[in-house]
Amino acid sequence: MSELHLKSIAELSAGLAAGEYSSEELTRHFLARIQELDEGLNSVVTLAEEASLAAAAAADARIAKGEAGPLTGIPILHKDIFCTQGVRTACGSRMLDNFISPYDATVVSRLKDAGVVMLGKTNMDEFAMGSSNETSYYGPVRNPWDRDRVPGGSSGGSAAAVAARLAVAATGTDTGGSIRQPAALCGITGLKPTYGRVSRYGMIAFASSLDQAGPMTRSAEDAAWLLAAMAGFDERDSTSVDRPVDDYLGQLDQDIKGLRVGVVKEFFEDGLNPGMRESMETAMEQLKALGAELVDVSLPNSHHSVAAYYVVAPAECSSNLSRFDGVRFGHRCENPVDLEDLYKRSRAEGFGPEVKRRIMIGAYALSAGYYDAYYLKAQQVRQVIADDFRKAFENVDVLLGPASPETAFRLGEKSDDPVSMYLSDIYTIAVNLAGLPALSMPAPLVDGLPAGLQLIGNYFDEGRILNLAHQLQQATDWHLQMPEGY
């Protein structure tokens, strides 16, 4: 029983089916781990104890009747950006501290239908704006590998919880790297799907042309299980793509001999930490040993991605977050003298400093006379970056690089300097601008801290990057490395 948190989804699913343990026992095991171990991490903001036990009982009934699917009875955590009916959805913000969602996000309802048990909600940067999880109203999350260090962000709570084995898996969202960068810093596998592959309905919007939800797991195989349940067309999301979901699990065992892997030159330049470079090179040697063919590739305009991103994302956020007006839901100031005072003070009190900065940058970029110089220009830069990827994929099957320029940094190290924080996502942002799928998986540790290898696929090629990651994980034990004390 004590080893339940080390088992894969496939192992747990088999154990549940064979009656070795019940979903209730499994759920209690993880609830106890969260209660015992999360105090020093702060990765879980809402524990849904009663609801999870009720869901586990329902899962056990389904298993007994022989109506279970592969995820039935598996306990996971949801990032607090996903609306969960009847359970507080605060999105890391004082603005939504009192918000009990009246409906479920599609990701949540799909996983619920599959019989997944939700243990609770994970901490995150406020409205997913941050790369360290320090902007949360609920306090920073700490990295289980070194609690003086950040877990990355914005899905920092999900990454830390999965790294510490407080849940089998967790959901995350990625607008500029918010799944991959924390996955890298915490030593887990995190996948951002193709834009439009997973429904955004009920996922609190940050930048609608970039946001995507994905799985955060201990292995590529677990990610394939979860993605299979999360992905698919949803008429409630106008940007959802109506296209069949590939057989991710079936693709995992494909031979990768002869697969052409492009090593992105620009991701190995001066900004990369030397230890990180060495870790990436070890991973590349392993890929070669498995028969993959490594090819040098250039994305000559990728260094423009951070600049374009900090127009597109703030512009869309200033529009999306205008809904928080103190009238229909969320925080409202005391004794407003008039409507403008109500808006201004409710928003001043409800939002933290980073969210305010981004809303203001967006409001400025979209204000009269500036549209062409900022938003339109950024969308042109975005096209150039997407064209770079298109050209690269004419010659290779997958692209490779680090997910982050360095290992986890210390709490407070970058929190006073927004621009230095923004540069944490230098290797992840271009992928969001182009709408491509990509994952980060553990590579060899650097000075005792996790390093993330990033694999980028062509549009809808999630199956192929999962296949490559799985083959690497079959041949190595990097993904099995765990922080001490968990």
Partner 1 sequence: MSLDAEEVEKIAHLARIAVTSDEVEALKGELSGILDLVARMSELDTSEIVPMAHPLDMPQRLRPDVVTEENHREAYQAVAPAVDNGLYLVPRVIE
Residues 373 to 392 in contact with partner 1, rule: CB under 8 A? 374, 376-384, 386
What sections of 68-187 are H helices per DSSP?
A: 106-113, 156-163, 180-186
DSSP string, 267-315: GGSTTS-HHHHHHHHHHHHHHHHTT-EEEEE--TTGGGHHHHHHHHHHH
Specify the stretch interacting with partner 1 by CB under 8 A; choose among 23-31, 46-54, 285-293, 326-334: 326-334
Task: Specify the pairing of strand 212-217 against strand 169-174.
Answer: antiparallel
**Active site residue: 131, 132, 154, 318, which one?**
154
Residues with Cβ within 8 Å of residue 372, at least 6 apart in sequence: none
What is the distance between the alpha carbons of residues 170 and 223, in angstroms, rounded to a whole number? Answer: 10
351 binds partner 1 per the rule CB under 8 A: yes
Quick one: 68 or 433, whose CB is closer to partner 1?
Answer: 433
Interacting span for partner 1 (CB under 8 A) from 10-18, 24-32, 143-151, 358-366:
358-366
CB atoms within 10 A of CB 278: 14
Candidates 218, 345, 464, 479: give the one binding partner 1 (CB under 8 A).
Answer: 345
- Minimum CB–partner distance for residue 366 and partner 1 (Å): 9
Residue 328 binds to partner 1 (criterion: CB under 8 A): yes
Q: How far is the CB of 228 from partner 1 (least distance, A)?
A: 21
Does 245 contact partner 1 by CB under 8 A? no
Helix (H) or strand (E) holding 398: strand 398-402
**Smallest distance, partner 1 to C-beta of residue 441, A:** 24
Of 102, 98, 52, 101, give the one whose Cα is nearest residue 81: 101
Map the footprint of partner 1 across residues 35-54, applying CB under 8 A: none
| 293-297 β-sheet, strand order | 44-47, 117-122, 75-79, 169-174, 212-217, 189-192, 438-446, 449-457, 398-402, 260-264, 293-297
The residue from 19, 20, 64, 98 that contacts partner 1 (CB under 8 A) is: 98
Q: Which of 39, 50, 338, 484 binds partner 1 (CB under 8 A)?
A: 338
Instruction: Choose one: 95-103, 153-161, 246-254, 474-482; the region binding partner 1 (CB under 8 A).
Output: 95-103
* Structure tokens given for 33: 């781990």
Between residue 175 and residue 214, which ones bind partner 1 under the rule CB under 8 A?
194-196, 209
Among the residue ranges 105-113, 162-170, 304-312, 468-476, the one whose residues contact partner 1 (CB under 8 A): 304-312
Report how far apart, in Å, the C-alpha atoms of 365 and of each of 236, 301, 329, 362 are: 29, 22, 27, 5
Number of residues that bind partner 1 (CB under 8 A): 73
Kindly state the tokens that stand for 34: 């969260």
Strand partners, 449: 446
Query: What span, in angstroms and rounded, lies between the C-alpha atoms of 423 and 271?
Result: 10
Which of 167, 138, 140, 169 shows the shortest CA–CA distance to 156?
Answer: 140
Q: Which of 178, 240, 279, 415 is catalytic?
A: 178
Does 302 sit behind a cis peptide bond, omega within 30 degrees of 0 on the bond before it? no
Distance, in Å, from the CA atom of 380 to the CA atom of 366, rounded to the nearest integer, reads 16
**Catalytic residue status for 79:** yes
14 is a contact residue toward partner 1 (CB under 8 A): no
Closest approach of Cβ 78 to partner 1, in Å?
A: 19
Token pair for 156: 């920092």
Of the pair 2, 335, the CB lying nearest partner 1 is at 335
Contact with partner 1 (CB under 8 A) among 304, 414, 470, 479: 304
Active site residue 440: no
Q: What is the closest distance, in whole angstroms, from the C-beta atom of residue 388 to partner 1 in the complex?
A: 11
Amino acid at 393: F
Of 6, 32, 61, 360, which lies in the binding site for partner 1, with binding defined by CB under 8 A? 360
Q: Which of 32, 61, 64, 339 binds partner 1 (CB under 8 A)?
A: 339
Smallest distance from the beta carbon of 458 to partner 1, in angstroms? 12
State in angstroms the smallest separation of the CB of 432 from partner 1: 9
- Residue 137 lies near partner 1 (rule: CB under 8 A): no
178 is catalytic: yes
Q: Phi/psi at 114 (nearest 5 deg)?
A: -75, -5
Segment 407-466, which members bind partner 1 (CB under 8 A)?
Answer: 418-419, 422, 433-435, 459
| Residues designated as active site | 79, 154, 178
